[in-house]
Amino acid sequence: MAVRFVRKLEKYGRLSKTECQVIVDVSQNTRKIAARKSILHEDENSQKSCVILSGLACRYKIFEDGARQIVGFLVPGDFCEGYAHQPEYHLGTLSQCLIAYLDNDALAGIMDEYPRISRNLWRTSKAEAAVLREWLVNIGRRPADKRVAYLICELCTRLDGSDVDVAGGCALPVSQIELADATALSTVHINRVLSRLRDNKLVTLQRRSITIKDLGRLKAYAQFQDAYLQLPKSA
Amino acid sequence: MAVRFVRKLEKYGRLSKTECQVIVDVSQNTRKIAARKSILHEDENSQKSCVILSGLACRYKIFEDGARQIVGFLVPGDFCEGYAHQPEYHLGTLSQCLIAYLDNDALAGIMDEYPRISRNLWRTSKAEAAVLREWLVNIGRRPADKRVAYLICELCTRLDGSDVDVAGGCALPVSQIELADATALSTVHINRVLSRLRDNKLVTLQRRSITIKDLGRLKAYAQFQDAYLQLPKSA
DNA sequence: CGAAAGGTTGAAACTTCTCAAGCAGGGTGG
DNA sequence: CCACCCTGCTTGAGAAGTTTCAACCTTTCG
């Protein structure tokens, strides 16, 4: 996740010509349906991995009582693997997505042939863990307003690092429900937080698009440091 | 982290004879000092990794205001890498530990020589991410009592999977302060939670040791499933 | 146009935190 | 050897943040 994989994608592109099964997953426009309709059910497809080529997706865990915790977003370029041992986790789309699937057996063969691939996958996984740590800290230690602001900073920064242009504003197909599930807050509270952030002229999130007047101010407010994302340009 | 590395440790053992610098880090008995005294400061030693051979350690992030969030515990056999891009993270001991340090340059050389190492490191990193996801869900979606119970289940299960014998009770050098920092609760609340768990005869945590009358009952209460730890025997 | 999903608002309840004070025990110095 | 001190644990009470419930509004989509 997290790390931009332009270079890596080229590699995967090379691989996909021979090994990958590229599938267009045209999910419904309705976000909720799209999110509920998972594209990688672990119990069914744990032997597959995928790369997000376009669109926005997320990983989430569903509890028996229906509660959901989103544990990460996936932007174009992100690699995502099935969790063989965690059937309660799913991968779902938040918008129309183009996704390249990759059979895990094929991946194993590729790693044998190209040793650098497994090293890159290690990097990928470490980057994902770095993001998870930040989410943990964010949910664990920050109050609601900064928590939401921080998540928005991360999403925008990662989108900006992929193919999306996030200057001042862009499409962000995330509903308040999904924001709530990602930040471990209730939807009602998310709503109040967003209106406060809007009143404070920090960020406006409406109609599936986001407007940030002053990204620097938002980052400062959220105490957001992008080093953990290990973006090429952040160095 | 998370995954038992008995087999892997043998490999590291082989490596350490030639490449690793094995250092005994005898931290003070006082837990707090030990925890505060980090053993891998990112700004200083980001080019080093290590393997915990014995004892209990943790990773944590410190905020400017002194708040701390523990993002993971390390039990014997766990591999731990420096975070070059996240200087606010540290690695600290919770008890006397024996730690093998490994220079990252040496590690890179080893990976060139033994391609399977990088694949194993990928596995390691994926296992760490799996644990982080569970922590995220735990902190995000579970009420305080179950949250603490869940963490205790994880710690005991992982310790049981390393060299420690956890039948009914064992040493657990974790203070209430550290539990609070790991579960994103206040120490006062941790105290009340622990006394409730004790009253309900689920778990007793006193004097640096833990007593569990009925582990199955505790796991059921915490809704703990150990599949994500990918223990050899859990299959 | 109607239905369904998501967004908005208010009020009450609940969980958790903060502040504050006191207790317990282990290690250290007199 | 004892007293002291420091750290961690315990307890109470009030405050704060967040959730829940419920109703209503708005937008989207068929």
Q: Quick check: B219 pLDDT over 50?
A: yes
B32 in contact with nucleic chain D (CB within 7 A): yes
Across chain B, what does the average pLDDT equal?
78
Spatial distance from the CA of A30 to the C1' of D28 (Å): 9
Q: Is A186 (CB) below 7 Å from strand D? A: yes
B177 sits within 7 Å of strand D by its CB: yes
Please give the pLDDT value at position A208. Answer: 85
- Smallest Cβ distance to A121: which of B115, B122, B227? B122
* Residues A103 and A47 sit within 8 Å (Cβ to Cβ): yes
DSSP helix, strand, coil percent of chain A (3-state; round to 5): 50, 25, 30
Question: For B88-145, how does the pLDDT look when each residue is reduced to its tens digit (9 = 90+)?
Answer: 888 888 887 777 777 777 778 778 877 777 888 888 899 999 999 999 999 999 999 9
In 3D, which of A189, A187, A194, A191 has the Cα closest to residue A67? A187
- What is the percentage of chain B residues whose pLDDT exceeds 70? 77
Nearest to A86 among B83, B119, B130 (CB): B130
A141 close to B67: Cβ distance less than 8 angstroms: yes
pLDDT at A185: 97
Comparing CB atoms, the residue among A81, A128, A140 nearest residue B184 is A140
Distance, CA of A49 to chain centre = 15
**What is the layout of strands, in order, in the sheet containing A21-25?**
A21-25, A97-103, A48-54, A79-81
Q: What is the pLDDT of residue B141?
A: 95
CB A27 within 8 A of CB A97: yes
For B50-89, what is each residue's pLDDT tens digit? 888 888 889 999 988 888 999 999 998 888 887 767 778 8
Coil/strand/helix, residue A130? helix
Nearest by CB to A139, from B122, B128, B140: name it.
Answer: B140
Question: A-chain residues within 8 Å CB-CB of B128?
Answer: 129
Q: Which domains, and CATH codes, for chain A?
A: 6-127 (2.60.120.10), 143-234 (2.60.120.10)
Say if residues B176 and B219 touch (Cβ distance below 8 Å): no
- The protein footprint on chain D, as nucleotides within 7 A of a CB, is 7-13, 17-22, 27-30
Q: Which residues of A touch B86 (CB under 8 A)?
A: 130, 133, 227-228
**Is the distance between the Cβ of B28 and the closest atom of strand D smaller than 7 Å?**
no
Chain A residue nearest residue B64, CA to CA: A223
A69 and B136 within 8 Å at the Cβ level: the answer is yes
Give protein residues whose Cβ lies within 7 A of nucleic acid chain C: A 30-32, 175-177, 187-188, 191-192, 194-195, 206; B 29, 143-145, 184-186, 188-189, 207
Record: contact B139-A136, CB cut-off 8 A: yes
Distance CA B81, CA A126 (A): 9
Q: Which residues contact residue A233 at a Cβ distance below 8 angstroms, ignoring those fewer than 6 apart?
A: A161
Cβ proximity of B101 and B23 under 8 Å: yes
pLDDT, mean of residues B21-29: 38
**Is the pLDDT score of B31 beyond 60?**
no
Q: Residue A47: what pLDDT?
A: 65
Query: CA of B32 and C1' of D30: distance in angstroms?
Result: 63
Three-state secondary structure call for residue A210: strand
Q: What pLDDT is attached to residue B232?
A: 66
Per-position pLDDT tens, chain A of length 235: 323 333 444 455 544 433 434 444 333 322 333 333 445 544 444 567 888 888 888 999 998 888 899 999 999 888 888 776 777 888 888 887 777 777 777 778 778 877 777 888 888 899 999 999 999 999 999 999 999 999 999 999 999 887 677 776 778 889 999 999 999 999 999 999 999 999 999 999 988 889 998 899 999 999 999 888 877 654 3
Which residues in chain A touch residue B118, judged by CB atoms under 8 angstroms apart?
A: 115, 118-119, 122
Distance (Å, whole) CA B66 – CA B217: 37
